[in-house]
Amino acid sequence: MTTNLNGITLQFHDVGRGPALLLLHAFPLSGEMWRPQLDALGADYRVIVPDLRGFGGTDAPSPDGSMRDLAADCLELLNHLGVERFVLGGLSMGGYVAFEILRQVALDRVTGLLLCDTKPGADTDDARANRLAMAEKALDEGPLPIAEMMIPKLLGETSRAERPEVVRAVRGLIEANSGAGIAAGQRAMAARPDSTPLLPTLRMPALVIVGEEDELASPSDTQAWATKLAHGALHIVPRAGHLPNMEQPETFNATLWPWLNRLNES
Ligand code: MLT
Predicted confidence pLDDT, tens digits, the chain (266 residues): 999 999 999 999 999 999 999 999 999 999 999 999 999 999 999 999 999 999 999 988 787 879 999 999 999 999 999 999 999 999 999 999 999 999 999 999 999 999 999 999 999 999 999 999 999 999 999 999 999 999 999 999 999 999 999 999 999 999 999 999 999 999 999 999 999 999 999 999 999 999 999 999 999 999 999 999 999 999 999 999 999 999 999 999 999 999 999 998 86
Atom of ligand 1 nearest to the CA of 243: 2
Atom of ligand 1 nearest to the CA of 117: 2
Q: What spacing in Å lies between the alpha carbon of 26 and ligand 1's midpoint? A: 6
> What pLDDT does residue 238 have?
98
Q: What spacing in Å lies between the alpha carbon of 7 and ligand 1's midpoint? A: 26
Q: Is the peptide bond before 193 cis (omega within 30 degrees of 0)?
A: no
Three-class DSSP category at 23: strand
Residue environment code for 63-77, b if the CB has 16+ CB neighbours within 10 A, otherwise e: bebbbbbbbbbbbbb
Atom of ligand 1 nearest to the CA of 119: 9
Pocket lined around ligand 1, Cβ cut-off 6 Å: 26-27, 92-93, 189, 216, 242
Q: What spacing in Å lies between the alpha carbon of 241 and ligand 1's midpoint? A: 12
d(CA 215, CA 164): 19
Residues 6+ apart with CB under 8 A from 242: 26, 92, 117, 153, 154, 155, 156, 211, 214, 215, 216, 217
Atom of ligand 1 nearest to the CA of 27: 3
Q: Whose Cα sits closest to atom 4 in ligand 1?
A: 27
> What pLDDT does residue 64 have?
80
Q: What spacing in Å lies between the alpha carbon of 205 and ligand 1's midpoint? A: 24
Contact assessment for residue 129 and residue 199, using Cβ atoms and an 8 Å cutoff: no
Q: Mutation test of ligand 1: which of 24, 27, 124, 222 has the most ligand atoms closer than 8 Å to its C-beta?
A: 27
Q: Mutation test of ligand 1: which of 189, 215, 245 has the most ligand atoms closer than 8 Å to its C-beta?
A: 189
Q: What spacing in Å lies between the alpha carbon of 92 and ligand 1's midpoint? A: 5
pTM over cut 0.95 = yes
Contact assessment for residue 224 and residue 166, using Cβ atoms and an 8 Å cutoff: no
Atom of ligand 1 nearest to the CA of 153: 5
> What pLDDT does residue 24 have?
99
Q: How far is CA 251 from CA 19, 87, 90, 141, 205, in A?
A: 22, 20, 17, 37, 20
Q: What spacing in Å lies between the alpha carbon of 87 and ligand 1's midpoint? A: 21
